[in-house]
Amino acid sequence: MLKGFRDFVLRGNVVDLAVGIIIGAAFTAVVNSLVSDLLTPLIAAIFGKQDFSKLYFTWNGSQFKYGNFVNAVLSFLIVAAVVYFLVVIPVDRLLQRFLPSKVDAPKRDCPQCLSTIPAAATRCAFCASEVPPVLENPITH
């Protein structure tokens, strides 16, 4: 019973997920600090208000506190922009630089089901029928 649990915990996906959650929590603290300590005061300096939570309007005796919604939307947009510009774009550039680009392998149609398969395939992935191998340098007369 403990061996199965050990195998489960040491499985690559579980460890990767745990590391991702820990790094995500630490990164969330950094992004929240960036938003609350730098970007929100910048917005306050430009627009004159740092906290919109007290904004509301009254209609037929009901109070609509739209300021909280504005705060939530602005926080989301700022966090999304920070993550995109400081994480997604740099990681994409690193991956493009260090990972080899995949050259599209030549393709052909399966003679049985007409699905597109790699030219080097000897069995169709869609209908499982055997397909004749393609000669790499066919001699034409």
Separation of first and last alpha carbons in the chain: 68
Give the pLDDT mean for 99-110.
76
At 72, which helix (H) or strand (E)? helix 66-83
Task: Count other C-beta atoms under 10 Å from residue 70's C-beta.
Answer: 15
* List of residues 6+ apart from 15 with CB closer than 8 A: 9
Look at residue 138 and tell me whether its pLDDT is greater than 60: no
Domain 2-98, CATH: 1.10.1200.120
125 versus 39: the higher-pLDDT residue is 125
Position 141 confidence tier, pLDDT thresholds 50, 70, 90: very low
The pTM assigned to this predicted structure is: 0.48
139 versus 77: the higher-pLDDT residue is 77
Location of structure tokens 């506190």: 65
Give the pLDDT mean for 28-46.
77
On the CB side of 77, how many CA atoms lie within 13 Å of its CA?
A: 8
C-alpha span between 118 and 121 (Å, rounded): 5
The domain limits of the chain are: 2-98, 105-135
Look at residue 139 and tell me whether its pLDDT is greater than 70: no
102 versus 6: the higher-pLDDT residue is 6
Residue 101, SS3? coil
- Burial (CB count within 10 angstroms: exposed 0-12, middle 13-18, buried 19+), residue 19: exposed
Q: How do residues 49-94 score in pLDDT, each as one tens digit?
A: 666 777 888 999 998 888 878 777 877 887 788 788 888 899 888 8
Report the mean per-residue pLDDT for the chain.
80
